[in-house]
Structure 1
Amino acid sequence: MPVGTIDPHEEHEVHEQQRLLGDVDPSLTDATDVARLLDVDPRRGLASGEARRRLEKFGPNELASAPPVPKWKKFFQQFQDPLVYLLLVATGISLVAWFIERFHGDATGEGAEALPFDAIVIVIILIVNAILGYIQEAKAEQAVNALSEMTAPQTNVLRDGHVQRINTVDVVPGDILVLGEGDTVSADGRLFAAASLRIAEASLTGESVPVGKKPDTLASAKALGDRANMVFNGTSVTQGTGRAIVTGTGMNTQVGKIADLLASTEDDTSPLQKEMNRVSKVLGIAVCIIAVVVLIALACMEGFHSAQDVIDSLLLAVSLAVAAVPEGLAAILTVVLALGVQRMAAHHAIVKKLHSVETLGSASVICSDKTGTLTRNEMTVERVVTPSGEVELTGTGYAPEGSMINLDGSPVSDDVRHEVIATLGAGILANDGELREGDRPGKWDVVGDPTEVSLIVAGKKVRAGRQYGHFQRVAEIPFTSERKRMSVICQDTTEGGELTVFAKGAPDVLLSYCNRIAVDGGAIRPLTEGDRQTILDTVERLSREAYRTLGEAFRPLETNRLADVPGVRANAAGQVTDIADQADAIETGLVWNGMVGIIDPPRTEVRDAVAEAHRAGIRTVMITGDHPLTAARIASDLGIIRRDGAALTGEELDELAARGDAAFDKATSEVSVYARVAPEHKLKIVESLQRQGNIVAMTGDGVNDAPAVKSADIGVAMGITGTEVTKESAKMILADDNFSTIVAAVREGRNIFDNIRKFLRYLLSSNVGEVFTVFGGVMLAGFLGISVPGSEGVTVPLLATQLLWINLLTDAAPALAMGVDPSTEDVMNRRPRKLTDRVIDGEMWSDIIFIGIVMALVTLIGMDMHLSGGLFTDRSLDAVGHEAQMTEARTMGFTILVFAQLFNALASRSHYESAFKGFFANKWLWGAILLSIVLQLLVIYVPFLNTAFGTVPLEPGAWLECICLSVFVLIASELRKIYLRARRGMKRLD
């Protein structure tokens, strides 16, 4: 949204916020004093009622936007179009012609129209067209606004003592921001807790490298980029965790203060938009050439003998322009895309930009993470393996109900029970997740990573909290995708306050930091090579059984002061403020507890979705950080690879990359499962697939996925588990984190694109038919009896007002209805289209021109049948009789052209398939056809409309002629489709 000037109300809100802290600089003030000034308890956050009161007082947390465009201005913008200017010129020419005829034709003015009906009708139609365009744009704008609300950024805050996820616009001064890797900072704030926190501030300061953040109070004022204890609106967390007190929101943030320097950027023009611009340009050039040719031909054949001849010729040129250009094309395209995107949103696929739909329908590879997308993301700890044995935990999902049993069903020994509790105890302490009982019995709310929550659930099942509930966290070394482990330092609040390190992580990684092992119910002895091999063998076995494994370890620090731990650095006051940067001193000499096996079963619907994608020529690729055997097992269960298929690891990808792009591309063209990969591997895989000419969709949730998601042709973010950074990078958001939703969105994208081609075929062939009718009618006027032999001047076969009526009403309704045509059976049985393919290709142009010629022929034949001196008649009439006859013939041609276009609407639903296949499938199209027929009847039988549009009532016999001639458009189309299907069948045989 573009940034605008602050209105007086917003300026008042800014001043109100500034009064909260007065002249206090938060970076130079202790965090507890900042909390006191903002009247908030950092341990509980604001109360919900107080947050609502502050929101009303200080306003929403958003930058001042440009003032909305008034409705009246939006309406008049409908007239800012070159075609409208052309029609206004036509109006002026019509007024001049009427004025000359009325007041300078003869002394009495008899025979001239009392009012300039042509000019009046053109103006009325322009107003009606503007109203329809305004309504259509308003609907499309509403659809886009609805999607914006669905994709509104959210923020974790501490309120009422609990972490809550709220819309970013609802953040208020005094809120406690809970920051984690991948979050976008939603307001300016003063840090009071941080662990390995690094924030990318390039958008604000220009600093390209993420900045380390610490809560220490600054000794002196610093430049914006050096305020290490402050976080700023619009920046993003790249590593670690932290908590900050919000000191400013909206226009009172640093971004708000420099809002006038922010410029709104224009959206890139999509291939579809470029194609529409190209088509409009081609049509404009073509019609100008045709108009010039006609005018030159008329000047050479008949000459211009009076001002009236010049005026008539100019009106003819205007008629050709009106006939060539489908006025409502842009509005119809926008509405069809908006409706399609709304349908996608109803099925949990939220597309952020309308024109991304065409890219979505062209996807040839879908790269997906495993957890949550291909699987249920209902992580459950089923196995716990300790040095003394292996047990199974019963119960599934997040309900903490279940028990501990041996694999053979026998009771668990005391030693093993003790080791299991110790293993899970470490898991629930080295944990940032949260499990809460929901608002109804049996419902549990999960906050944080599902894997971490599964450890909490398992710990509750064995009541590990009873033995480890007295430990209180005092420091943290957070998990990162590079470290693959997390450690916390906890203080025992019952006995001497001694400190203990608890760690969890990938077993093979965590094991390398262990030199001891807890056995026989808790006895500690040195870790042998045999122990290491046994543990790694167990990891491999569990991975083959599709379990995700996590190792657990601990280390007693034997002191109650962190500064006394060997190797830990402290300041002069004995305080340790950078423990997260001292992992080497803390994560050493760990004691191995055991490991857990976590299962996340595949989604039942995903296998069918993968099969459907395969039929559609779309390859599915799994990219995960899990063990290769786990990844291969899940992939084979889902049909992504065969049972004997293998996964390629990150290390193997590095070896391939060292050999060059050719070796890397060859591997990615053949392998569909990648395991133990780092963020840079995901990006390399996407780029490699793109080099091979694929249109790549890439799913992601974490901040480490953002580069690959942004680089992909279709970046897809997880709506439930996805970070704000990834959502901002993506073009589509999955509200349900389900892979099958991606395939459904591709299907919908293909259908939308098919429908766009349908109504383009319909509109353009209909308009080409109008151009050929006007062009042929003028050039063959004498042969067809349109002009009286020996007469002077130009007689147009159809009036500009009639052509406008056709384009405005009988074109728009069917085209809109075709935009919501049901998908065809083969929509997912064909290869993806390439983005380089033309929306309107050579075959489609030939179809458009063929139908246009047929339409013009039947229209001119129908007119000729009601004119003397033509091909089918040989009656001679004087000029007065010919004028009346011409009015009837125009009415015939006008009506035949309308009905021919309605039959063309039925024929245009497919380039190959018969119109009678699914003949009544689109009820909206039949409604549009019925509406067009009723409107045409009004023009023919309502007297004042007769005068306005130059029509006369038709006899029943004339109606029979109209139907018989116009239906020939459908017959010709069916014959052409039979030929095309036969030719395509012969090519397949070859």
Structure 2
Amino acid sequence: MSREPVRWGAAALREDGPPSNGAVPSNEPLRDRPGAPARSVPSLPVREVYAALNSSPRGLTPPEATARQARYGLNELPRVSRGHVWRRLVAQFTDLFAVVLIVSSAITFLAYALEQPRDPATLQLALAILGVVLLNAGIGFAQEYSAERTAESLQAMVPHTCRVLRSGDARDLPARELVPGDVVLLEAGDAVSADCRLVEAHEVAVNNAALTGESDAVARVPGPVPTGPPLEARNLVFMGTDVIAGTGKAVVCSTGTATEFGRIFRLTAAAPRQKTPLQRQVAAMARRVAGVALATGAVLFAVRAPGGQPFVDTFVFSLGVMVALVPEGLPATLSVSLAIGVRRMARRHALVKQLLAVEALGSTSVVCTDKTGTLTQAEMTVVQLWVNGVPHSVAGVGYAPVGEVSDAGPVRELLRTAALCSNARLVPPTGRDGWRVLGDTTEGALLVAAMKADLDPAAEESRTPRVAEHPFDSVRKLMSTVHRDLDGSCLAYVKGAPLELLARCDAVDREGAREPLTDVCRAEITAAADGMAGQGLRVLAVARRRVDSPHPTLGDTESGLTFLGLAGMYDPPRPEVRDAVDACRRAGIRIVMVTGDHPLTAEAVARRVGIVRGRAPSVVTGTQLDALDEGGLDALLASSTELLLCRVSPEHKMRVVTALQRLGEVVAVTGDGANDAPALKHADIGVAMGASGTDVAREAAVMVLLDDSFASITTAVGLGRSVYRNIRKFLIYLFSHNIAELVPILAATFAGFPLVPITAVQILAIDLGSDVLPALALGAEPMERDVMDSPPRPRRERLFSTAVMGRILFLGGIQALGVCAVFFWHIHASGLPYADFTKSDPVYREAITMVQAGIVVSQFFNSLAVRTDRQSVFRAGLLTNPWLLAAGCFGIGLMAAISYAPPLQTIFNTAPLAAADWAVLAAFGALLLAAEEARKWLLRRRGTPLEGETR
């Protein structure tokens, strides 16, 4: 994204007149500029910063702050508009099935108005169709609204308060009230509320992970720096980042959407939301089914119209055929089944904001995962110490000082020195929060290690108070502090990068005695540091020396040092992640690490969790990605099985996601920072962190991990696959009985029978009264054990595949033959000619009752048959889904009420059935189950794999 220069300073801004504090206001609303501070501000000396930003060392006056707030707006990111509730409710009626049914209902109302005399059955049909539409819309809206409200309950990341100078007085103000020119006070533990230029800094270090993805602490300085990209300016701090060490004073440069945080917010808002595979497939299915229904109804109208039947009756008959073909209960069943998946995922710490995203997880073929906090615990831990050629292991993980140091005696002075040369603080557990570190996480790890060696850092600091400090600098890569000992002498303690510190040492500590540092000893220390680094550890060296004064120069402090030892630490992987990665491998899901961290750090973590197992993975930096054209990037992504992308920007992440989608992959992207948000939104499935993630990331994602663990993603993928399998099960169940509803109507038409074997109202009663609950029970089938043992289905695989259509035709054909047989058997048994039958004829009423009951009973057996694809349902257990049995019994009970209850007989034009009739229908149902069991037996015997499986 381009960053246009912005005119700041008095020369460009004088026409409004000076404010009351002597500063010059701006003509140009800062919130409208491209997002980065003006390139000139980082390069200005401190004394010129106030004038350039129209402020003063005492801050703004309250009236001036109020005026600027009116001009520039509140310091907040706009919430994404979700539209009015009524608009989202209306959107439920735009589904193609809903449109077809609404049009059908409207035409039926019109037919009722034109009839002479008017038939109450036509009005009942119109009302029934409209009721179906309202029911589907209500269920869909309720499920989506519930999921949305749950997602919005997550807390936002942007801090709520900050400390500001107004007319020289420090006061705590809501962060949303900050304006350009405000002077803010910063200290360790604060979250930065706006983009600011530092004017005072005492050992300030910040964590820019939310913007850059890099978890290392970054030192900040108040002085001028050369002009360059804002994120590289070492005197700027940014909204959404954290101060982890030191104190400082800064002047606000940008607020709200004009910040770097806001720049990524705008980039995210511009990224289109991708449709899930199920959305695309359901839309295609709806178009095909609606087209077939309309075409079939039109053909039958054309066939029956010349036969002398009244026009309205013929039209209503054709409309009934259309209704028979439209799966009225499918939208409601789909919504509730997906909602069941949402609730199951929520119990596994994965909150899904969009119902259709549940299924999309099941088709995921590539996961682009962040590192810190997702694969790791985001808690640096010292695991190894090295003193005088001897390694000492450190037990325990995280910031809880639980564990011990092996043979702690020789390393106590090393840990004491490291703890004193630190600015971090260890905070005990409070409420639901465990042990945590205020300040640099590396220093926090050293404090924990010292406590594991039975040292008390606070007591040591009291016994040896600090009198001076030289903060860490990324150039010399060292930090040093000066302390006054009990005898009044002064000691300098230094820690930092091993090579830089070793170059400043001329002696080594040998059990308390100072000995010369020989070349052999230097080589031994260097080899030890390299060995620890080769294990993926971050290595620090520690040294000390006596100094002559309490305020020595930097050169005196960091020269002539006595080497004490090495400390190796790392951010430990989450214990459950390795099993989750193994599960992804078995499931054929490729994992690509995409991080802002250093390549060596990324590779070490990837090896620990099992993402990398080969000797030479492809490790590519953001700079290398910039050098690749579209074809080169596609080739890299297609050829590299183990790929680590390091030092990447938000634009890099979006480009990688787009390229993977171009290659036909279904991509899930994880992330927690604002820098991840564009890729989260552009991915097929965006997965944000709930505990540590930013509000921008959570807003962009469709799934939020409440525990931030990669293992929850794997579980969610398994649940998503299970949801897809269950959707196929109830689709086979629902569409197979549509055949049983349509074939008798077609058979009666071409046989010359003047009436329909089943009316539209009866069809609606089957679709909603007898089929919805069993379909829901099928949608709630538990996850099968082998769900993660097959590769992801192809992105282009159709919901109605050849295998699915084959089962629909097989099961639907058996049902259709059964109901046609009972209908025509009943009609012929009466001995009446076709022309003598009327709607009120008892035989006709019994026959259509037999058809309706036959579909309901056969669907009960059908629901048992479709529970498994190849395994025998008797092996799976008839009682393992009690809800399905209960739903089937309810449907048969409802059918019995329609047959025997006089009020329902009047509505549905039915008649009571004899016990022998029920026995015949049960026999047909059992025949269907036996035929399906035989088909599965043949599949097992031949060893035929299912779609998506490999042998």
Are 1:425 and 1:459, in contact at CA under 8 Å, matched by a contact in 2? Answer: no
Once the two structures are TM-superposed, the CA of residue 201 in structure 1 deviates from its matched residue by 14
What residue number does 2:11 align with? none
Gaps of 5+ in 2: 1-19, 27-49, 66-72, 165-172, 212-218, 225-229
Are 1:548 and 1:626, in contact at CA under 8 Å, matched by a contact in 2? Answer: no
What residue number does 1:810 align with? 770
1:534 aligned onto 2:505: no
Once the two structures are TM-superposed, the CA of residue 280 in structure 1 deviates from its matched residue by 0.9
Gaps of 5+ in 1: 1-18, 40-57, 103-112, 162-168, 203-211, 218-223, 567-585, 788-794
What residue number does 2:455 align with? 462
1:117 aligned onto 2:121: yes
Are 2:419 and 2:443, in contact at CA under 8 Å, matched by a contact in 1? Answer: no
Distance 1:350 1:79, change over 3 A: closer
Are 1:822 and 1:921, in contact at CA under 8 Å, matched by a contact in 2? Answer: no
- Distance in 2 (CA, whole Å) between partners of 1:266 and 1:633 is 32
The amino acid that maps onto 1:118 is: T
1:288 aligned onto 2:294: yes
Once the two structures are TM-superposed, the CA of residue 751 in structure 1 deviates from its matched residue by 0.7
What residue number does 2:41 align with? none
Are 2:581 and 2:610, in contact at CA under 8 Å, matched by a contact in 1? Answer: yes
Distance 1:230 1:631, change over 3 A: closer
Query: Which of 131, 134, 138 is 1:130 aligned to?
Result: 134
Secondary structure of the corresponding residue to residue 290 of structure 2: helix
- Distance in 1 (CA, whole Å) between partners of 2:944 and 2:274 is 40
Once the two structures are TM-superposed, the CA of residue 961 in structure 1 deviates from its matched residue by 2.2
The amino acid that maps onto 1:895 is: A
1:974 aligned onto 2:933: yes
Query: Which of 749, 756, 761 is 2:720 aligned to?
Result: 749
Are 1:546 and 1:599, in contact at CA under 8 Å, matched by a contact in 2? Answer: yes
Query: Which of 929, 947, 950 is 2:906 aligned to?
Result: 947
The correspondence of residues 319-338 of structure 1 with structure 2, limited to 5 A, is 319-338=320-339
Residue by residue over 1:223-254, the C-alpha shift from the partner in whole angstroms, topping out at 9 and shown as x without a partner, is x99x9999897x88999998879999999999
What residue number does 1:935 align with? 894
Distance 1:538 1:190, change over 3 A: closer
What residue number does 2:709 align with? 738
- Distance in 2 (CA, whole Å) between partners of 1:741 and 1:915 is 30
1:422 aligned onto 2:412: no
- Distance in 1 (CA, whole Å) between partners of 2:74 and 2:675 is 34
Distance 1:766 1:230, change over 3 A: farther
1:153 aligned onto 2:156: yes
The amino acid that maps onto 2:928 is: V
Are 2:621 and 2:648, in contact at CA under 8 Å, matched by a contact in 1? Answer: no
Once the two structures are TM-superposed, the CA of residue 467 in structure 1 deviates from its matched residue by 5.2
Residue by residue over 1:763-816, the C-alpha shift from the partner in whole angstroms, topping out at 9 and shown as x without a partner, is 222223322332233222x3xxx34xxxxxxx2221111112222222322222
Secondary structure of the corresponding residue to residue 540 of structure 2: strand
Distance 1:405 1:931, change over 3 A: closer
Once the two structures are TM-superposed, the CA of residue 92 in structure 1 deviates from its matched residue by 2.5
Query: Which of 730, 733, 749 is 1:762 aligned to?
Result: 733
The amino acid that maps onto 2:117 is: E
Are 1:191 and 1:230, in contact at CA under 8 Å, matched by a contact in 2? Answer: yes
The correspondence of residues 846-885 of structure 1 with structure 2, limited to 5 A, is 846-868=806-828, 874-876=831-833, 879=836, 883-884=840-841, 885=843
The amino acid that maps onto 1:913 is: Q
Residue by residue over 1:155-174, the C-alpha shift from the partner in whole angstroms, topping out at 9 and shown as x without a partner, is 4567899xxxxxxx996647
- Distance in 1 (CA, whole Å) between partners of 2:199 and 2:478 is 20
Distance 1:890 1:706, change over 3 A: closer
The correspondence of residues 138-177 of structure 1 with structure 2, limited to 5 A, is 138-150=142-154, 152-156=155-159, 173=177
1:913 aligned onto 2:919: no
Residue by residue over 1:133-186, the C-alpha shift from the partner in whole angstroms, topping out at 9 and shown as x without a partner, is 314421332023213424x4324567899xxxxxxx9966479897999x9976
The amino acid that maps onto 1:520 is: D
Distance 1:192 1:283, change over 3 A: farther
1:798 aligned onto 2:769: no
The correspondence of residues 489-638 of structure 1 with structure 2, limited to 5 A, is 504=496, 507=498, 514-516=503-505, 519-520=508-509, 533-542=523-532, 547-551=537-541, 594-598=565-569, 605-618=576-589, 635=607
The correspondence of residues 773-784 of structure 1 with structure 2, limited to 5 A, is 773-780=744-751, 782=752
RMSD (Å), alpha carbons: 6.0
The amino acid that maps onto 2:54 is: L
- Distance in 2 (CA, whole Å) between partners of 1:490 and 1:456 is 16
Query: Which of 268, 282, 286 is 1:276 aligned to?
Result: 282
Once the two structures are TM-superposed, the CA of residue 273 in structure 1 deviates from its matched residue by 0.8
Once the two structures are TM-superposed, the CA of residue 862 in structure 1 deviates from its matched residue by 1.3
Distance 1:938 1:914, change over 3 A: same
Secondary structure of the corresponding residue to residue 28 of structure 1: coil
Secondary structure of the corresponding residue to residue 878 of structure 2: coil
Are 2:637 and 2:660, in contact at CA under 8 Å, matched by a contact in 1? Answer: no
- Distance in 1 (CA, whole Å) between partners of 2:313 and 2:495 is 89
Secondary structure of the corresponding residue to residue 154 of structure 1: coil
1:341 aligned onto 2:312: no
The total of aligned residue pairs comes to: 859
- Distance in 1 (CA, whole Å) between partners of 2:644 and 2:268 is 41
Secondary structure of the corresponding residue to residue 147 of structure 1: helix
Distance 1:178 1:831, change over 3 A: farther
Are 2:159 and 2:193, in contact at CA under 8 Å, matched by a contact in 1? Answer: no
The amino acid that maps onto 2:386 is: V
Comparing 443-452 and 315-324, the one that deviates more:
443-452
Distance 1:317 1:370, change over 3 A: same
- Distance in 2 (CA, whole Å) between partners of 1:477 and 1:452 is 12
Distance 1:215 1:854, change over 3 A: farther
- Distance in 2 (CA, whole Å) between partners of 1:931 and 1:243 is 71
Once the two structures are TM-superposed, the CA of residue 863 in structure 1 deviates from its matched residue by 0.9
- Distance in 1 (CA, whole Å) between partners of 2:678 and 2:388 is 41
The amino acid that maps onto 1:139 is: Q
Are 1:398 and 1:457, in contact at CA under 8 Å, matched by a contact in 2? Answer: yes
Query: Which of 85, 89, 104 is 1:74 aligned to?
Result: 89
Secondary structure of the corresponding residue to residue 282 of structure 2: helix
Residue by residue over 1:326-382, the C-alpha shift from the partner in whole angstroms, topping out at 9 and shown as x without a partner, is 123233323322331232122122345433333422334556567655566664324
What residue number does 1:16 align with? none
1:826 aligned onto 2:786: yes
The amino acid that maps onto 1:435 is: L
- Distance in 2 (CA, whole Å) between partners of 1:358 and 1:587 is 60
Are 1:136 and 1:332, in contact at CA under 8 Å, matched by a contact in 2? Answer: no
Comparing 647-656 and 751-760, the one that deviates more:
647-656
Distance 1:443 1:878, change over 3 A: closer
The amino acid that maps onto 2:865 is: A
Once the two structures are TM-superposed, the CA of residue 199 in structure 1 deviates from its matched residue by 9.1
- Distance in 1 (CA, whole Å) between partners of 2:705 and 2:930 is 45
- Distance in 2 (CA, whole Å) between partners of 1:771 and 1:449 is 71
The amino acid that maps onto 2:126 is: I
Secondary structure of the corresponding residue to residue 920 of structure 2: helix
What residue number does 1:890 align with? 848
- Distance in 2 (CA, whole Å) between partners of 1:22 and 1:63 is 29
1:100 aligned onto 2:101: no
Task: Report percent identity of matched pairs.
Answer: 31
Distance 1:989 1:609, change over 3 A: closer
Residue by residue over 1:15-42, the C-alpha shift from the partner in whole angstroms, topping out at 9 and shown as x without a partner, is xxxx9x9999895334653598999xxx
- Distance in 2 (CA, whole Å) between partners of 1:890 and 1:173 is 72
Residue by residue over 1:606-659, the C-alpha shift from the partner in whole angstroms, topping out at 9 and shown as x without a partner, is 4544443343334567788689699679847x66677xx535484899999999
The correspondence of residues 273-422 of structure 1 with structure 2, limited to 5 A, is 273-299=279-305, 303-305=306-308, 309-366=310-367, 373=374, 379-386=380-387, 391=392, 397-400=398-401, 406=407, 411-412=409-410, 417-422=412-417
Secondary structure of the corresponding residue to residue 865 of structure 1: helix
The amino acid that maps onto 2:508 is: V
- Distance in 1 (CA, whole Å) between partners of 2:258 and 2:428 is 37
What residue number does 1:88 align with? 105
